[in-house]
Amino acid sequence: MTFGVEAEEPEAHRQLDRFVEAGGTLVDTADTYGTGRSEEIIGRWFASRPAEITGRVVLATKGRFPLDDDAPNGSGLSARHLTRALDASLRRLGLDAVDLYQAHAFDPWTPLEETLRTLDGFVRAGKARYYGLSNFTGWQLTKAVHLAKAMNLAGPVTLQPQYSLLVREIEWEIVPAALDAGVGLLPWSPLGGGWLSGKYQRDTVPAGATRLGEDPGRGMEAYDRRGTERTWRVVEAVRKIAAARGVTMAEIALAWVTGRPAVSSTILGARDTGQLEANLRAADLHLTAEEHADLAAVSDPGAPDYPYGEMGAEQRGRNLAGGR
């Protein structure tokens, strides 16, 4: 999402080169990132690198939201919009197919049957090798999985949700639904919009070249919205473990997310290669059971009463305390 917005093309290409060199494989983008610029930048990277480099990449993109707010029928998960969106993404990428095409968010106005037929058609036509979902709730994921089976269509293989030590509510319904369906999770914002990297301080409104420094009221990551007592407790716990390990706070937060049940890969977003290097180190970091337990305890969002709380754990049938 940073490509073409926070990282211009030369820097984006350096990040992609380093990512693949380090053994990275999944590159995730969307048509709305930079209003198409991210896909164009990635497409030119593919065109300028040898096949033995680009062949290692599992390329994912998404469609759902409008690129032109005034375009009639220019958003949603209808057959019309998704077909046009994927074709436009392939043109920007300069490719005949993507490995993973994702519905960027649920569309309450389009019958899910229509969306699933369309996504299955992309797979059958060879324009996408697999398809996934993003930002779906637990019931929406479960409905999609079972409708696909009932209609004899290809089913989703991934779900991309927001997930971090600061955003754990997906463990109540979405994670169990993904485990039940055999769907892999691809968490976005694993650093909580930068909060878990330790860059923000209590009682000090962010300033400078950070996302909140440039816009303290930025969406769900806004300083006044996310700067709660629970957030500062979590940040301090991450800081303590990072200091004891001699690593960065980002490495601890990323290692925690990557080790959670159902997680297949964790989405990184970096402004520059230096940030990327720090994040990549998390791939080799594994937390102890005690560290997992400490972080789980301090970040517990306080599940509502039965059946989500402690008394309902056995009936829910999945142990999400730690590990995969």
Please give the model's pTM, rounded to 2 decimal places.
Answer: 0.90
CB 73 within 8 A of CB 80: yes
- The sign of the dihedral angle between the CA atoms of 143, 146, 149, 154 is positive
Chain segment 177-223, per-residue pLDDT in tens: 999 999 999 999 999 988 898 887 776 665 556 665 555 555 556 55
More confident residue, 224 or 266: 266
Residue 141 falls inside a structural domain: yes
What distance in Å separates the CA atoms of residue 287 and residue 295, rounded to the nearest whole number? Answer: 10
Binned at pLDDT 50, 70 and 90, residue 165 comes out as very high
CB 64 within 8 A of CB 75: yes
Binned at pLDDT 50, 70 and 90, residue 26 comes out as very high
Domain count, the chain: 1
**Which amino acid is located at 270 in the chain?**
A
- The beta strand positions in the chain, using DSSP E, are 26-28, 58-63, 98-103, 128-134, 158-160, 184-185
Give the number of C-alpha atoms closer than 13 A to the C-alpha of residue 52, restricted to the C-beta side. 1
Cβ-based neighbours of 192, under 8 Å, separated by 6 or more: 164, 165, 166, 167, 221, 226, 231, 253
Residue 291 falls inside a structural domain: no
Q: Phi and psi at residue 33, in whole multiples of 5°?
A: -70, 115
**Which amino acid is located at 101 in the chain?**
Y
Residue 213 falls inside a structural domain: no
CB 30 within 8 A of CB 291: no
Chain segment 266-278, per-residue pLDDT in tens: 999 998 999 999 8
- Tell me: pLDDT of 116 over 70: yes
What's the pLDDT at 228? Answer: 83
Residue 212 falls inside a structural domain: no
Active site residues: 33
What's the pLDDT at 200? Answer: 78
What distance in Å separates the CA atoms of residue 259 and residue 323, rounded to the nearest whole number? Answer: 6
Cis geometry, peptide bond prior to residue 304 (ω within 30 degrees of 0)? no
What's the pLDDT at 266? Answer: 96
End-to-end CA distance of the chain: 27
- Tell me: pLDDT of 144 over 60: yes
Residue 30 falls inside a structural domain: yes
Cα distances from 212 to residues 114, 191, 217, 223, 318, in angstroms, run 39, 13, 7, 7, 36
Chain segment 243-297, per-residue pLDDT in tens: 999 999 999 999 999 999 999 999 999 989 999 998 999 999 999 999 999 999 9
What is the rounded radius of gyration, in angstroms, for the C-alpha atoms of the chain? 20
Residue of 201, 286, 273, 290 lying closest to 239 (CA atoms):
201
Residue 248 falls inside a structural domain: no
Binned at pLDDT 50, 70 and 90, residue 324 comes out as very low
What's the pLDDT at 143? Answer: 98
What's the pLDDT at 306? Answer: 83
Domain interval for residue 22: 1-160
What's the CATH number where 9 sits? 3.20.20.100
Residue of 161, 230, 168, 220 lying closest to 194 (CA atoms):
220
**Per-residue exposure over 209-232, b if at least 16 CB sit within 10 Å of its own CB, e if not:** ebbbbeebebeebebeebbeeebe
Residue 29 falls inside a structural domain: yes
Q: Are strands 98-103 and 184-185 parallel, antiparallel or unpaired?
A: unpaired
Residue 47 falls inside a structural domain: yes
Q: How many other β-carbons are positioned within 10 Å of the β-carbon of residue 320? A: 18
User: Rounded mean pLDDT of 80-104?
Assistant: 98
